[in-house]
């Protein structure tokens, strides 16, 4: 049958189309974009965490400074009282109050110093995160472009195959196309294959001499089929 050669050609185009769609679904550019996006997202959440930490530290510093202002005011108040007090016991009590408030102020200063160090560290960290976010955004943009280029390439290739397919299919009897489609829909391996030596190129099994001889006897009105996998065979 003359159209079996064209059918084989059609099958080759369909195989190529299938491989192309598989390739398009598994583009390395898509994986790269996903990776770039998740890196950026992770950096952004790191930035959100560091920003929140910095805000907290800054508000703690503000609170300590307010507390120290109160301490200063108390020290001034007690010192003024001390000047007017006559009884030694009261003077002693005031002295004690002043010492207590001074100790509190000093502890606040120590804590503020630590918080200032933390805030400096966080600011540096945020600067670094900012740079990484900028770089990450560029990486995402580049990966997006690369992916869309790769998809475009696949689509161009697909158009070429589609055109080839139309030309090849137009030369084949519609009834044969239907037979081919039926067979193709029922299997994952090629529905049409040729022989390399005695090996079917669909199932990759060898045909016996007897089987080969029988297939060669098949007339033009029939299409030879592989005795192992049932595909149409070009013999
Ligand atoms: Zn076979």
Please give the distance, rounded to the nearest whole angstrom, from the Cα atom of residue 186 to the centre of ligand 1.
14
- My answer on whether 41 and 82 are in the same domain is yes
- What is the predicted pLDDT for the residue at 89? 94
Task: Compute the distance between CA of residue 69 and CA of residue 111 in angstroms, rounded to an integer.
Answer: 15
pLDDT of amino acid 220:
79
Q: Express as a percent the part of the chain with pLDDT over 90.
A: 94
Give the Å distance between the CA of 106 and the centre of ligand 1. 90
Domain end point (choices 129, 155, 172): 172
187 & 204 share domain = yes
- Residues 162 and 218 grouped into a single domain: no
How much is the mean pLDDT over the chain? 96
CA of 164 to the centre of ligand 1 (A): 26
What's the pLDDT score for residue 188? 93
Number of domains observed in the structure of the chain: 2
By CB atoms closer than 10 A (0-12, 13-18, 19+), residue 149 is: exposed
Give residue 24 CA to ligand 1 midpoint distance, Å.
28
Same domain, residue pair 145 and 217: no
**Ligand 1 centroid from CA 204, angstroms:** 6
Q: For residues 15 and 222, which has the higher predicted lDDT (pLDDT)? A: 15
78 CA to centre of ligand 1 in angstroms: 104
187, 2 Cβ separation under 8 angstroms: no
* pTM of structure: 0.76
Please indicate, yes or no, whether residues 71 and 55 belong to a single structural domain of this protein.
yes
- Are 100 and 154 contained in the same domain? yes
Among 172, 193, 222, identify where a domain stops.
172
Kindly indicate the confidence band of residue 221, based on its pLDDT and cuts at 50, 70 and 90: confident
Q: What is the structure's pLDDT at 3?
A: 81
Q: Are residues 161 and 215 in the same domain?
A: no
Distance, in Å, from the CA atom of 107 to the CA atom of 15, rounded to the nearest integer, reads: 78
Euclidean distance between CA atoms 225 and 231, whole angstroms: 5
Range of the domain at 229: 176-234
Q: Is a pLDDT exceeding 80 seen at residue 186?
A: yes
């Amino acid at each position: 049958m003359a159209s079996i050669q064209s059918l084989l050609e059609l099958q080759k185009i369909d195989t190529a189309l299938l491989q192309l769609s598989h390739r398009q679904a598994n583009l390395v550019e898509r994986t790269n974009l996903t990776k770039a996006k998740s890196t950026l997202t992770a950096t952004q959440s790191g930035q959100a965490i560091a920003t929140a930490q910095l805000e907290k530290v800054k508000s703690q510093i503000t609170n300590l400074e307010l507390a120290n202002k109160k301490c200063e005011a108390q020290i001034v108040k007690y010192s003024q009282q001390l000047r007017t007090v006559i009884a030694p016991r009261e003077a002693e009590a005031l002295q004690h109050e002043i010492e207590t408030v001074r100790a509190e102020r000093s502890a606040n200063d120590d804590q503020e110093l630590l918080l200032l160090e933390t805030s400096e560290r966080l600011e540096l960290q945020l600067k670094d995160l900012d740079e990484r976010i900028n770089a990450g955004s560029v990486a995402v943009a580049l990966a997006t472009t690369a992916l869309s280029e790769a998809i475009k390439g696949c689509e161009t290739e697909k158009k070429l195959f589609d055109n080839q397919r139309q030309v090849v299919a137009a030369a084949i009897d519609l009834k044969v196309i239907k037979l081919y489609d039926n067979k193709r829909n029922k299997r994952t391996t090629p529905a049409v294959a040729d022989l390399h030596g005695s090996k079917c190129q669909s199932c990759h099994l060898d045909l016996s001499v007897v089987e080969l001889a029988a297939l060669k006897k098949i007339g033009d009105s029939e299409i030879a089929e592989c005795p192992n996998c049932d595909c149409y065979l070009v013999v």
